[in-house]
Structure 1
Amino acid sequence: MKRLILSILLTGLVGHLAAQGKDISYSSQGTKLKGYLVSPENKSSKAPGVVVIHAWMGLNDFVKGSATNLAKLGYYAFAADIYGEGVRPQSPAEAGKLSGSYKGDRDLYRSRIQAAIEQLIKAGADPERIAVMGYCFGGTGALEAARANLPVKGVVSFHGGLDKRGDKQENSEISAKVLVLHGADDPFVPESQALAFREEMRSRKADWQMIYYSDAVHAFTEPAAGNNKSSGAAYNEKAAKRSWEDMKKFFQEVFAM
């Protein structure tokens, strides 16, 4: 009986350790960054990799949890640090200003994403099977990875902004498959922006999908957003679960697993 209990405890401990991640220090254009890497339990062969981009408040436990859950699905997952090591907004006003600076400089944003992709490959992910996903501000980043034709097979935006850069016209075909997971009642992404996004995808001959979730506003995947829908940002458990399942099916297609 004691051996059985010990075996159960050790099995649980191994499973727990397998899901543990580690901080990774790296840099981009001279800026120090610190991301969070979680590797799949079975690393004997090349597995696909997913970069996870945080929302406007910066790299946090929610994004690290997403990376951990992706690793449980068999992927290498790297929670990217876009802002820089130790740079974390202390208020929504500060977060808005900081995230806005990257939306205003899309080349800088894209270079930070590229640096995260390189770290993912360095960790052991198959360079031919990389994807990028992100939440809110990070969802915008995922779309930027597709727009820039970074070396990725697919991108997923969870309640992200859909607007594109205004300083340059980009007309090349988009090679990555695109999945947008969108709250049907999101007040921060007007339908005019969604319409412009769809036209952009068509004009650039992208393979794209856009799924709307009823009764969902901005930040619908994040429990920390609370449940006050009237604020424009709130957690929606049903939409959160459905969108995760839609993401899983998308990655299975993209990675052909």
Structure 2
Amino acid sequence: MKKLFLLIAATLTFGSTAAQAQTATVLSCCARPAAASATEAFAMLATDKDFSGGHEAPLPYSYEGEGKMIEFKTTDGGTSHAFEIKSAKPSNKFLFVIHEWWGLNDYIKKEAATYAQELPGVNVIALDLYDGQVATTPEEAGKYMQAVKTERATAIIKGAQLYAGPKAQFASVGWCFGGGWSLQTALLGGKQTVGCVMYYGMPEKDVARLKTLNSDVLGLFADQDKWINPEVVKQFEKDMATAGKKVTVKEYPADHAFANPSNPKYNKELAADAHQKALAYLKARLKA
């Protein structure tokens, strides 16, 4: 009788452990979309004092050039705003500009305007993944970046792509937080995607998702970056190769955010070189 009791107890324990293991497997595989793993992992860097401390508050700047704020519907039933500079002539070519961790501030509007001038015949739209919030301190930026939900950001991007239209061609560019989301924008664009530039952003780690890319990728990284470091970049290159996709990587002898003029680690010469590479890439992909 005692042996029978022990056998039953062992069976129940094993069954419970197996069920827990099965539940854990289901949760780890299916609880969150694959996009969350890369973008939300990067957002958690806001808790790193070295990361937040390396981003000094941007100097005051006011953009007063062309372009205007627009409103469009998002795929989650809401709305979002973006800064748009339309091509002088009707065009189905669009460049989506994704802000860094400060949000859609006037510096990003200036970047959008620069690309609009350099890419005639292309509509430029700077998206707002912070839903109207703009940070002026590292503390605010960290809070806003961590608060971004993958589902909401995806709905904003898809909404902007629907705003562009079914015949539009998409390319994207982004920095830091926006670098990772530039790659996600390319993934979400499907067959309409023709190009993607990512500055020191978190790469997508799901090879199955990378296989759905419709374009190649230009990655601009810093070899002194503690977070998107050379090991992360090498793994991204391997994953892209496994997925059968092309990525062109340029690693600069610089630190994270070297292309940000408001950052103490800004390198004017390297930033100019990176911009020229990004511009040449976008001109070729958008045929501008």
Give the TM-score normalised by the residue count of structure 2.
0.69
The 5 Å alignment of 1:75-224 reads 75-85=122-132, 87-102=133-148, 105-119=149-163, 121=164, 127-150=167-190, 151-162=192-203, 164=205, 170=209, 172-214=211-253, 216-224=254-262
Distance of aligned partners of 1:194 and 1:57 in 2 relative to their CA distance in 1, 3 Å threshold: same
SS in 2 for 1:57: coil
Q: In the alignment, what sits opposite 1:235?
A: 266
Quote the RMSD (CA, aligned, Å).
2.5
CA contact (8 A) 1:163 1:193 kept: no
Deviation at 1:48? 2.1
Write out per-residue CA displacement over residues 82-115 of structure 1, whole angstroms, 9 at most, x where no aligned residue: 1113x2345323422432344xx54443332222
Which whole-Å CA distance do the structure 2 matches of 1:130 and 1:148 have between them?
A: 10
More helix by share: 2
Residues in 2 aligned to 1:245 and 1:155: alpha-carbon distance in whole angstroms: 15
Aligned letter for 1:205? G
Over the matched positions of the two proteins, sequence identity in percent amounts to: 24
Displacement of 1:24 in angstroms is 0.8
Determine the C-alpha separation between the residues in 2 that align with 1:191 and 1:107. Answer: 29
Q: Counterpart of 2:38?
A: none
1:149–1:176 CA contact under 8 A, matched in 2: no
Residue 84 of structure 2 corresponds to 37
2:68 to 2, 22, 27: 22
Q: Which has the larger radius of gyration?
A: 2
| Pair 90,25 (structure 1): closer, same or farther in 2 beyond 3 Å | same
Number of equivalent positions: 221
Aligned AA (1:204) = A
Q: Which 5+ residue runs of structure 2 have no aligned equivalent? A: 1-63
Q: Return structure 1 stretches of 4+ with deviation > 4 angstroms.
A: none
Q: Deviations over 1:217-245 (max 9, x none)?
A: 1111111112xxxxxxx211011111111
1:32-83 alpha-carbon deviations (Å, 9 max, x no partner): 422111123x31x425210101011110111101111111121211110111
- Report SS of the residue matched to 2:209: coil
Q: 2: CA distance between counterparts of 1:194 and 1:46? A: 35
1:250 to 281, 285, 288: 281
Letter in 2 for 1:109: A
Which secondary structure state, in structure 2, belongs to the residue aligned with residue 225 of structure 1?
A: coil
Gaps in structure 1 of 5+ consecutive residues? 1-16, 227-233
- TM-score, normalised with respect to structure 1: 0.76
Of structures 1 and 2, the one scoring higher in RCO (CA 8 A, sep 6+) is 2
> Contact 1:174–1:205 at 8 Å: present in 2 too?
no
CA distance in 2, matches of 1:30, 1:47: 25
SS at match of 2:131: coil
Quickly say closer, same or farther: Cα 1:174–1:163, change in 2 above 3 A.
Answer: closer
1:111-164: per-residue Cα shift (whole Å, max 9, x none)?
Answer: 322222333x26xxx944220111110110011123445331111112222253
